[in-house]
Amino acid sequence: MMSTTTVSSEVKKVVTPYSRTNPFPAKVLKNCNINGTGSSKETRHLELSLECSGLTYNPGDALGILPSNDPELVTAILEEMNWDGKTEVIISKQGETLPLLKALTDYFEITLLSKKILQQAAQFTENEDLHKLLSPENAGQMKEYCYGRDLLDMLCDFGPWSASAQDIVSMLRKMTARLYSIASSITAHPGEVHLTIGAVRYHAHGRDRKGVCSVLVAERVSEGDTLPVFVQPNKHFHLPQGDKDIIMIGPGTGIAPFRSFIEERAVTKAQGRSWLFFGDQHAACDYLYQDEFEQYQQDGVLTKIDTAFSRDTEKKVYVQHKMLENSKELFEWMENGAYFFVCGDKSRMAKDVHNALIEVFEKEGAMSREDAEAYVNDLQKQGRYQRDVY
């Protein structure tokens, strides 16, 4: 299928055969951990080649990666069920088939459980615990059971099973692509796309768990390998014209699109001022792209940087505290027409930053809470307050 991408800044049309349904096998050019020694995190800086794909992107767009599952988890499922990985299974309504090993590795989500999966599975087992869990009065426990558990847990916990491999895979959801905010400017790196990926690892219910895509990148992808990718344009998150000021709030992996913004502004020699707020745990090991951003500041591409390292001080300091410390200047920039961007954690950071922005207007603009909220809503409507949060 041919898809057409319109690149808004220069209005150039790019025709590429690659899309979400037909991803491009992008070669890995570089894959390294950008956290230093002593960090509790692992963040991968990934560089991919888009050569010969016809794919392009704008700062603010995302890249989709279609991942594959952890082979150790797939093997554990095959062993638990005594299944032969070579058995052909039907994977779609159209009757396409794949060997079970490949289907579990590349085609299905095996790390997600849902009520629907448990309900369907219940017809293949007499296990009382599962039937109890599914009764309406246990809805809360059912939800709790699914959180942090995967297909292997269900198969281990609720046997013995009278299900074939086909019965089980027919319940599974097709693997979904993971999106990553693009961390490069294609003008600065022709034919390339860079990403900033935080490895998701946690321990739950007696096992170490790994995020499918982020840990694939962290543990099993090397230079020269390929990853299936597509560009996901984001028309709600983009740089304004060159002479406008921008304020960027990007703690953790939220920094990604702002590396793209700054690279783009450096090559296009944009005139507007730019102010970056970055935050993470420790300055010594978690300041992502520190050298690059400090160089941009020295070169005058980046006007200001404010950082918040929450674990370096007794009292935790986050980006929203830095905004409030700089409220007078932030208000002046906004009054002067600056654009305000937020990227990163949706559950807490984005809310705290939103509230801090309202507080800045309340305090410096002598507005009531209601007026400040209305002002911030209006900024959103005007496209001067844009968020890329997840």
Binding region for ligand FAD (CB under 6 A): 62, 67, 111, 147-148, 178-181, 196-198, 200, 202, 204, 211-215, 253, 256, 388, 390
Give me the least distance between CB of 65 and ligand FAD, in Å please.
8
Based on C-alpha coordinates, what's the Rg of the chain?
24
**How many whole angstroms separate alpha carbon 227 and alpha carbon 178?**
12
- Least Å distance, CB 339 to ligand FAD, is 19
Q: DSSP characters for 300-312?
A: TSS-EEEEEETTS
Shortest separation between residue 196's beta carbon and ligand FAD, angstroms: 5
Listed in sequence order, the residues at least 6 apart from 330 whose beta carbon sits closer than 8 Å to its beta carbon are: 247, 323, 360, 364
Name which of 212 and 338 has its Cβ closer to ligand FAD.
Answer: 212
CA distances from 10 to 57, 58, 123, 187 (A): 12, 10, 57, 12
Q: Which residue has the tokens 């009292």?
A: 315
Q: What is the DSSP string of 166-181?
A: HHHHTTSPBPPPEEEE
Measured distance between the N- and C-terminal CA atoms of the chain, rounded to whole angstroms: 29
Q: Which is nearer to ligand FAD, 67 or 279 (CB)?
A: 67
Closest CB to ligand FAD among residues 105, 253: 253
Query: In the bound complex, what is the minimum distance in angstroms from residue 126's beta carbon to ligand FAD?
Result: 29
Residue with tokens 């989500």: 109
Amino acid of residue 216: L
Closest to ligand FAD by CB, 211 vs 327, is 211
- Residue whose beta carbon is closest to ligand FAD: 211
What is the nearest approach in angstroms of ligand FAD to the Cβ of residue 163? 24
- Minimum CB separation of residue 209 from ligand FAD in Å reads 7
We find the least distance from the C-beta atom of residue 221 to ligand FAD, in angstroms, to be 12
Torsion of CA 124, 129, 134, 140, to 10 degrees: -150
The smaller minimum CB distance to ligand FAD, of residues 62 and 168, is found at 62
Calpha distance 388→390 (Å, rounded): 7
Cα three-residue angle 19-175-193, rounded to 5 degrees = 45
Nearer to ligand FAD, 198 or 361 (CB): 198
The residues, ordered by sequence, that sit 6+ positions from 301 with a Cβ below 8 Å of its Cβ are 262, 265, 266, 274
What is the spatial distance between Cα 316 and Cα 311, in angstroms, rounded to a whole number? 6
User: How would you list the strands of the sheet with 178-181, edge to edge?
Assistant: 178-181, 62-65, 226-232, 24-33, 43-49, 192-198
Pick the closer one to ligand FAD by CB: 245 or 264: 264
CB-CB contact of 179 with 62 (8 Å) = yes
Question: CB of residue 366 vs ligand FAD: minimum separation in angstroms?
Answer: 36
Nearer to ligand FAD, 264 or 388 (CB): 388
Comparison of 41 and 322: residue with beta carbon closer to ligand FAD: 41
**Shortest CB 229 distance to ligand FAD, Å:** 13
